[in-house]
Amino acid sequence: MTPPIIDGALRPSRPRASDLQRKQPQLQLQHQQLVQAVAVGPDATRRGSTRGPRPHASQPSRRTLLADVQQQQQQQQQKEEKKGKKKQKVTGAAGITAAAQAEKTTKPRGAGRAIDRRDGFFRTFNICALFGVAFYYAFQNGPNDNDGKMVFNRSLFYDTMVSEPVYMGIPALYLVAVWTLSRFMRDKPPATEFLRNRVQPIYNLTQIVLCAYMSWGLFPTDLRNPFGLNNKRDADIEWFVFVHFLSKYLDYVDTFVMVFKKSYRQISFLQVFHHATIAMVWPFLLSRGWGSGTASYGAFINSVTHVIMYTHYFVSSFGINNPFKKWITTFQLSQFASCIGPIPGAEKSKNE
């Protein structure tokens, strides 16, 4: 076949895919002959070696066979490159290629952006400073109706737990433990399965029983005055408030579970700050003689909230979907709002 003449020059015609398919058996035969010829060698054929028959004169030369094999390999490589380019086409309306999309998914969140941590530091510092100033003012200038001990329940254990070194030292140790364990678990695998299947169900059930006990003991006797305004101090109320204070130490388990599960996104500043400071407020009130009366409402409504929360956690640990999940946060916010002020007319009804 004479090659076509284009612009006065000979240009070799490019074989089509159909021609290559028809010539495939012939090319394979030529390849086998080339391999056999290379294995036998020209000198061996002249000396009558038994490795193989001498090539016939009509068979193509070794150079021709090599050129055909190389051409076939190049064509196969070009087909594979075309297939690879088709896979890298646009995969979405945004014009993101598959390679770029894979890089986007593996790229860490926030990478490439300059993160300014000064705002978070100043906000944290201001909150801690505000709490410190308010607590110091209450400690120095607040009314003290007692001698630094509880009114009704007095013993070495009660007096030690509401003493200043204990109720200020334990939250400080809690902060140090959170910081230390977080760095200890940095190179350790998370204990998610053990905590989820063994520890958390028992912990959640313990919280449910304990908080239900406190809710029962602190339930207001007069529904017209749920805040207990002007109520006389009561030994039973002081006992349940003391139990509520000790339960704040049990709440530390929440943070430690998050640390050992390496759920660092859940360990927010607000969560750690709340657990550390609330365990200082209740013993301070008990040591000043304010552990009964109006203060009992805060312990009561918080215990009710914890019953709802830990019941949800306990049920969810078994894979059961709670249909009231979205209302739990609303109830928590309502709890805080209910502690702002008394119900109008409550004090007047009590005086009557």
Residue 150: its H or E element: none
Tokens of 15: 């074989």
pLDDT for residue 63 is more than 50: yes
222 Rama class: left (phi>0) / alpha (psi -120 to 50) / beta:
beta
CA distance 179 to 304: 31
CA distance 99 to 283: 59
| The one catalytic residue among 274, 275, 306, 312 | 274
pTM of the prediction?
0.63
pLDDT at res. 87? 57
* Long-range CB contacts for residues 24-31, cutoff 8 Å, separation at least 24: 27/68, 27/69, 27/72, 30/60, 30/65, 30/68, 30/69, 31/65, 31/68, 31/69
The question of whether 244 is a catalytic residue gets the answer: no
SS3 9: strand
Instruction: List, for residues 295-339, the tens digit of each pLDDT value.
Output: 888 899 999 999 999 999 999 888 888 888 888 888 888 888 887
Residue 13 has pLDDT above 60, yes or no: no
Q: Give the single-character DSSP code of 271.
A: H
Amino acid 258 reads M
pLDDT tens profile 130-171: 888 988 888 888 777 777 778 787 888 988 999 999 999 999
